[in-house]
Amino acid sequence: MYYYSTRDRSLFFSFKDAALTGLAPDGGLFIPGQIPAYRGAVKRSLSSMSFCDIACETILPYVEKDLPPSVLEEIIAGAFSFPAPLVPADREGAALGAPLVLELFHGPTAAFKDFGARFMARTFSYLRRGEDRPLRILTATSGDTGGAVADGFFGVAGIAVTILYPKGRVSELQEKQIAGLGGNISALAVEGSFDDCQTLVKAAFGDAALGKKLSLSSANSINISRLLPQAVYYAAAAGKILGGRLDGDGTATPRTRPVPAGDAAPAPSGNIRTVPMKNAGAAIFCVPSGNFGNLTAGLYAMAMGAPIAGFIAATNINRTVPDYLESGEYRTRLSQPTISNAMDVGAPSNFERMSAHWNYQDLRRMIRGVWVDDDETRSTIGGVYRDHGYYLDPHGAVAWTAVQKLRQSGGALLPGSSAGGPVAVLATAHPAKFSAAVEPLTGPVPVPRSIQRALDRTARARTIPADPAALRDFLLEDPV
Ligand SMILES: *Cc1c(COP(=O)(O)O)cnc(C)c1O
């Protein structure tokens, strides 16, 4: 498998080049030359395979020139050491047609970005074996990426990480997850928005003089090695949905709270029960989206042949992509702050990758866009807690609301298709990560141990202006 730049199909790159450099030399994003198909036997048994086996089948064709199967297996076993349960929001939820929830927050930083970051850190560590020039990873975060990347790379030899985040626009917990580890992880609080942080990172990558002095790489959702592992949970969940198999405790007790993140999580393939589901068939995933890395990974899983009917792209008022799907015109905007702040993105970086693989008509066929404001999001958090005893975080709540809005409008969930298969809402963060927004609507949210550990740390960040020169100075004075 070779990789290309979204902006130039004439140059080939290996997976190793694509992963370690992050962004193509012409400023484009790396994309695989083709999207491989699952083998027939794999497609038929997705509902019974283990998560790690699905991960190997999904990722191997993209990386096999650089990661032998045994190495990939080891990376996967280490990275995906926590489950991704597919649960009904309550006991009767599936039967009543209420959305299922794909809980992606059981990793060490309680957000779905742990999947990508932990895979990437282990992959980098393998790809860099035997090198003596250290690697500097530069990443911009709107909140959750930073914590996941910091945690994933903390203590990895030969790699230093610098994380830029918008000062004052991330939660106390996110700031501690980003800036509380120290060691090989340094944090910069940028006086500006997330888009400013992304612009600074792009400027640093485009700075030839800097490139000569440092080995720079990125780790945000533009990195292909973060994207690929995210395709795995779509395939695994779509398999479960097709087979009518949900994760759960198998008892008749309604679930009153999410499984705690971290230590006490159940085994990935344990606790499966079979639930008769309305319209069992190809899944619809509703994806709360910001930079659209998660949704792009879902498109990869669908293109590989996972039983997926399509996607609902749910955004907050930063509605660039829903507007594009509606109008056919792509207009980026300035990002607006919301309570789902990890999705406050006005110029989604993975849009370039999506539209390199698929044209407007294709995207419109596979994705319906819906945007949701903060009042609607709050009302969902309160309502779902009242009706189902289930805590949603603001990001998952945006997705839940999007499904509700489509259902209330009476139309099909997907464009050009009347079939509404089972819908799974992606819960991308643990609600305790956003307790300031959630608790006024639900009362106290139980705090998982992973979050408590982070809260006990002290954040140590340096503040810089949103000026490329300030980042350059920092990088040059703080060589790895
Ligand atoms: C990053 C993030 C998102 C958005 O994911 P993208 O891949 O950027 O679209 C959604 N929810 C949470 C909790 C996140 O951290």
Q: What is the CATH number of the domain that holds 366?
A: 3.40.50.1100
Evaluate whether residue 4 is within a structural domain.
no
369 lies in some domain: yes
Secondary structure of residue 95 in the 3-state scheme: helix
pLDDT of residue 246: 83
Terminal C-alpha separation, the chain? 32
Our CA dihedral for 92, 403, 335, 365, rounded to 10 degrees, sits at 130
Residues 194 and 217 reside in one and the same domain: yes
Query: Is pLDDT of 262 > 80?
Result: no
Judge if 404 and 272 occupy the same domain.
Answer: yes
In this structure, is residue 200 part of a structural domain?
A: yes
Note whether 469 and 344 are same-domain residues: no
CA of 197 to the centre of ligand 1 (A): 16
Which residue in 384, 330, 382 sits closest to 352, CA to CA?
Answer: 330
Please give the number of the atom of ligand 1 that sits closest to the Cα of 143: 15
Q: How far is the CA of 162 from the centre of ligand 1 (A)?
A: 20
Find the radius of gyration of the CA atoms of the chain.
Answer: 21
Percent of the chain with pLDDT over 70: 90
Alpha-carbon 421 to chain mean position: 23
Does ligand 1 come within 6 angstroms of the Cβ of 180?
A: no
Q: Name the token pair of 163.
A: 């994380």
How far apart are the C-alpha atoms of 263 and 447, rounded to whole Å? 12
* Spatial contact of 86 and 240, defined as CB atoms under 8 Å apart: yes
Residue type for 209, please?
A: A
* CA of 428, closest atom in ligand 1: 13
Least confident of 29-43, 211-225, 290-304: 211-225
If asked whether residues 198 and 339 sit together in one domain, one would say no
SS3 call for 339: coil
Alpha-carbon distance of 144 to 253, in angstroms, equals 32
How would residue 231 be classed by pLDDT, with cut points 50, 70 and 90?
A: very high
User: CA 3 to CA 124: how far, in whole Å?
Assistant: 17
Distance from the CA of 41 to the center of ligand 1, in angstroms?
32
Question: Quick one: 137 and 260 in the same domain?
Answer: no
Question: Could you tell me the distance, in angstroms and rounded to a whole number, from the CA of residue 293 to the centre of ligand 1?
Answer: 8
Same domain as 338, residue 196:
no
The answer, yes or no, to whether any atom of ligand 1 lies below 6 A from the CB of 293, is yes
Contact 458, 176 (CB under 8 A): yes
* Ligand 1 geometric centre to CA of 288 (Å): 7
* Ligand 1 atom closest to residue 105's alpha carbon, by position in its atom list: 13
The pLDDT assigned to 451 comes to 93
Q: Which is it for strands 30-32 and 3-5: parallel, antiparallel or unpaired? A: antiparallel
b/e burial code for range 247-272 (CB count within 10 A of at least 16 → b): bbeeeeeebeebbbbbeebeebeebb
Minimum-distance ligand 1 atom for the alpha carbon of 396? 11
pLDDT reported for residue 274: 59
Distance from Cα 116 to the centre of ligand 1, integer Å: 11
Decide whether any atom of ligand 1 lies within 6 Å of the 144 Cβ: yes
Mean pLDDT value of segment 282-292: 96
Question: Is the CB of 292 inside a 6 Å radius of any atom of ligand 1?
Answer: yes
Query: What residues pair up with 139 in beta bridges, in sequence order?
Result: 163
CA quadruple 58, 64, 70, 71: dihedral, nearest 10: -100
- To the nearest 10 degrees (0 to 180), the angle between helices 51-63 and 69-79 is 130
Shared domain for 351 and 473, answered yes or no, is no
Cα separation of 264 and 155, whole Å? Answer: 24
Testing ligand 1's pocket by substitution, the residue of 101, 105, 144, 318 carrying the most ligand atoms inside 8 A of its CB is 144
Number of domains comprising the chain? 2
Q: Is residue 459 part of a domain?
A: yes
Query: Is the minimum distance from the CB of 146 to ligand 1 under 6 angstroms?
Result: no
pLDDT-derived band at 273, boundaries 50, 70, 90: low
Contacts within 8 Å (CB) and 24+ apart, 96-101? 97/278, 98/388, 99/286, 99/400, 99/403, 99/423, 99/424, 99/425, 100/241, 100/246, 100/422, 100/423, 100/424, 100/425, 101/390, 101/392, 101/396, 101/424, 101/425, 101/427
Region of residue 397 (left: phi > 0; alpha: psi -120 to 50; beta: else): alpha
Decide: 226 in ligand 1 pocket, CB within 6 A.
Answer: no
- pTM of the model as a whole: 0.89
Would 361 be classed as within a structural domain? yes
Same domain, 351 and 429: yes
Q: Kindly report, residue by residue over 327-345, the tens digit of the pLDDT.
A: 999 999 998 999 998 899 9
Q: Same domain, yes or no, for 413 and 274?
A: yes
Give domain status of residue 187, yes or no.
yes
Confidence of residue 132 (pLDDT cuts 50, 70, 90): confident
CA 368 to ligand 1 centroid distance, Å: 18
Q: How confident is the model at residue 371 (pLDDT cuts 50, 70, 90)?
A: very high
Cβ of residue 294 lying under 6 Å from some atom of ligand 1: yes
Average pLDDT, integer, range 411-439 = 86
Residues 46 and 177 in one domain: no
Domain annotation covers residue 354: yes
Angle subtended by helix axes 113-127 and 224-242, to nearest 10: 130
Residue 265 pLDDT level (bands cut at 50, 70, 90): very low
Q: Looking at the structure, tell me whether residues 185 and 273 fall in a common domain.
A: no
Which protein residue's CA is at the shortest distance from atom 2 of ligand 1? 342
* pLDDT of the residue at 258: 41
Residue ID of nearest Cα to ligand 1 atom 8: 291
Residue to substitute in 341, 343, 367 for testing ligand 1 pocket (most ligand atoms within 8 angstroms of CB): 343
Residue nearest to atom 1 of ligand 1 (CA): 342
Mean pLDDT of the chain: 89
CA–CA separation, 64 and 241 (whole Å):
29
Q: Do the beta carbons of residue 167 and residue 463 sit within 8 Å?
A: yes
Domain of 210, in residue numbers: 114-223+455-477
What count of residues does the chain have?
480
Instruction: Check whether residue 251 and residue 293 sit in a common domain.
Output: yes
Q: Is the CB of 425 under 6 A from ligand 1?
A: no
Query: Which stretch of DSSP H or E encloses residue 28?
Result: none
Residue with tokens 């609507």: 441
Q: Is residue 32 part of a domain?
A: no
For 54-63, 130-139, 253-262, 324-333, which range has the lowest pLDDT when averaged over its residues?
A: 253-262
Least confident range of 205-214, 230-239, 366-375, 441-450: 205-214
Confidence (pLDDT) at 144: 73
